[in-house]
Amino acid sequence: MGPRERHARTRAKTHTIPIILGSFFGFMLICGIAFAVGMVGNVSRWLSDLPDYTDANAYLASEPTTILDANNNQIAMLYVQNRDSVTEDQISKYVLKGTVDVEDERFYEHNGVDFIGIGRAVLS
């Protein structure tokens, strides 16, 4: 066996590991892209049948059912909780502010994203 044959054989062995690693990482990249495309399709399909969040009528609360007779007189009211829907201007500004304060006491101090709260949640 001459020096050229030994050199050719050695070089062939040294390129197999990079080729195997490159093939493995290429395969993993293709799998990752296929997974991402599949997940985007699934999330899009899952979110497609959600109600329109801009339409307030899509979020109707449970209200009493009134039973009337033939003369339009009330016979009974059926309900689990006796609720009446109100608009935002019918609610006290202190109740609205208190609701926000209970959820996020520093809401009026940050610009909508509380990095301190996010950090506290991540660390706990």
pLDDT in tens, 63-111: 888 999 999 999 999 988 888 888 889 999 999 888 877 777 777 787 7
pLDDT of the residue at 105: 77
pTM beyond cutoff 0.85: no
pLDDT in tens, 84-96: 888 889 999 999 8
Who's near 114: CB < 8 A, 6+ residues apart?
Answer: 104, 106, 107
Q: Domain residues of the chain, as ranges?
A: 3-47, 56-123
Pairwise CA distance, residues 9 & 27, whole Å? 27
Residues paired with residue 76 on neighbouring β-strands, in sequence order: 67
Residue 68 DSSP label: E
Q: How would DSSP label each residue in 94-106?
A: HHHHHHHHHH-TT
**In the block, residue with structure tokens 């009211």:** 77
